[in-house]
Copies of this chain bind each other. A is one copy, B any other.
Amino acid sequence: MNPQNTTVLTEKQRPLPDASLLALKLDRNSGIPLHRQICNGIRDSILQMRVAPLSRLPSTRALAKDLGVSRNSVLMAFDQLKAEGYLVGSTGGGTRVRDFFPDATISELHQRPASTPSPEAQKNRLFNRTTTSSETPYVTPPIRPFAPGIPAIDRFPIDLWRRISNRCWREQGQKLLTQIEPGGFLPLREAIATHIRVARGVTCDPAQVLITAGAQQAFHLCCQVLLRPRDLVLFENPGYSGALGAFRYAGASLVPVSVDQEGMAISEVEAQKRKPTLAYVTPTHQFPLGMPMSLPRRLELVDWAQRENAWIMEDDYDSEYRFSGPPLPALYGLDESRRVIYIGTFSKSTFPALRIGFAVLPQDLVASFAKARAFQDHHSPVITQATLCNFIQNGHFARHIRDMRNLYRKRRDILVSSLAKSFGDSIAIPHSDTGLHVTTLLPAGVDDRLVSQEAARRGLMALPLTGFAQTNLARGGMVLGFGGMTEIEIREGVKVLEEVVSTVAGTAAAADH
């Protein structure tokens, strides 16, 4: 059964829920505005699955009548829920609950990994700190075609940024010279809190926002505050190498957890001798495979964290770049027990050399993180924070993201169609609707590390999927970034890749012979 067909049929057959199914209880004396009560009520219905994915909601007019409120209140509630990603709507087509289930399966990708690392892996768990390891490069690799995670910096409005920075120096002067709170420049924390409430459904106080030197420092701080050596960390397999490095430095014991079509398969984690301390996940755009985590899986994960008293690190990278429909709202919003640390970055939405990211912390952790940050490096430079703050507040950030989303969509289209033209059915691209890279599964039997090596000789940086895995995978793949590449570079890069794969596959076939 093709899950994509099912989706289409389901969408058409799904009945309209009436207002009673939404179970909205309004309290006119609570002091909470009606539009917010409606918004919260519908969100709860969706999260508790009283309303199925893809259900069509009553019209705003009908719902307003049923509830005895102004139509404007319902419109405001719907707008907020669309911004948060719970609802999707088109003119004429009505408003629907969005489809939280990813649209393709890659379960064939994985052999089931052992739920604990081998004794060998355990032994090598800590980096050998004073020698270099060939596995973990310590120099920033040069940007080459298909390097993942590189934005289109040639499209960044650098002159605008310069003028904003200049204005900050002129207007704020000495305020930008003195040390500030470890948590960061307060106006920026406020701007971020506002942005993620609307864009990601993350409701928090600005005091919970900790400005970091990119997402990488947020990982590092989580390790410093939450982990002790040998603590267990659930880690997506395959998963993000930057986070992996931070955990290894902290001396954590990594428990690789397989990723299936719905994201990290938390239920497959076998009972550990000790309780895991945290789980690191990329629910919006699993790195590197690309699927979003399904809503049931999200709820399961939050439930696990509550039950086990564990933490969840939600790395929400690339959430700005969803090419079809709004992104899924953040895991953070599902968790009432305050076990989620939400992590975002501006490296891909502005430019990498800015070195600004942030973490949204549960209230209980705010003081500990601030203290850790103070003893690590005090805080990020104030001028960069002030400039970014102004860039967000004046709408430049939202506009830039919108422009870039369109640009990346085009680049994604060219990459996917070029790959289809060159490789036909021999490769698969299960997920390509979010982010700045796609992961392409290679034909079975083709060694992705050999492809990567050969591609490197030809000037490409096509990283092998198996390089991100803790265990053997049934099928190799290439992680292909496209954000910083022009159309011509993409087309030419794919041609080179075609030659490379053909050479490697040919050599493998000859060796089999």
Contacts and interface: CB of A to CB of B under 8 A. Distances in A.
A40 to B, nearest CB: 30
B379 A138 contact: no
A131 interface: yes
B181 A140 contact: yes
Contacts of A4: none
Contacts of A8: none
B158 A368 contact: no
A153 interface: yes
Given A214-B377, A246-B375, A371-B138, A226 B161 contact: no
A219 to B, nearest CB: 8
Contact of A375 (B158, B229, B245, B355): B245
Interface in A153-177: 153-154, 156, 158, 161-162, 165-166, 169-170, 173-174, 176-177
A178 B136 CA distance: 20
Taken together, the copies of this chain in the complex come to 2
B220 A249 contact: no
B140 A182 contact: yes
Contact of A379 (B130, B226, B355): B355
A162 B166 contact: yes
A117 to B, nearest CB: 19
Contact of A131 (B178, B368, B370): B368
Contact of A378 (B213, B228, B364, B382): B213
Contacts of A372: 129, 249
A247 to B, nearest CB: 9
Interface of A is mostly: helix
A370 B139 contact: yes
A367 B180 contact: no
A376 B158 CA distance: 27
Given A158-B174, A170-B162, A245 B351 contact: no
A506 to B, nearest CB: 36
Nearest to A229: B229
Contacts of A226: 129-130
A179 interface: yes
Nearest to A248: B375
A213 B216 CA distance: 14
A376 B242 CA distance: 9
A383 interface: yes
A508 interface: no
A353 B130 CA distance: 31
A380 interface: yes
A16 interface: no
Given A173-B158, A174-B153, A229-B229, A217 B376 contact: yes
A254 to B, nearest CB: 14
Contacts of A178: 143, 153, 351-353
A306 interface: no
B132 A367 contact: yes
A64 interface: no
Contacts of A375: 136, 216, 220, 242, 245-246, 248-249
26 contacts: A129-B224, A129-B226, A129-B228, A130-B365, A131-B367, A138-B182, A138-B370, A140-B180, A140-B374, A143-B178, A153-B174, A153-B177, A156-B177, A158-B169, A162-B170, A214-B377, A216-B377, A217-B376, A220-B377, A245-B374, A245-B375, A246-B376, A354-B381, A355-B377, A377-B377, A383-B384
What are the 6 closest A-B residue pairs judged by CB atoms, nearest first?
A: A138-B371, A213-B377, A245-B375, A162-B169, A177-B351, A217-B377
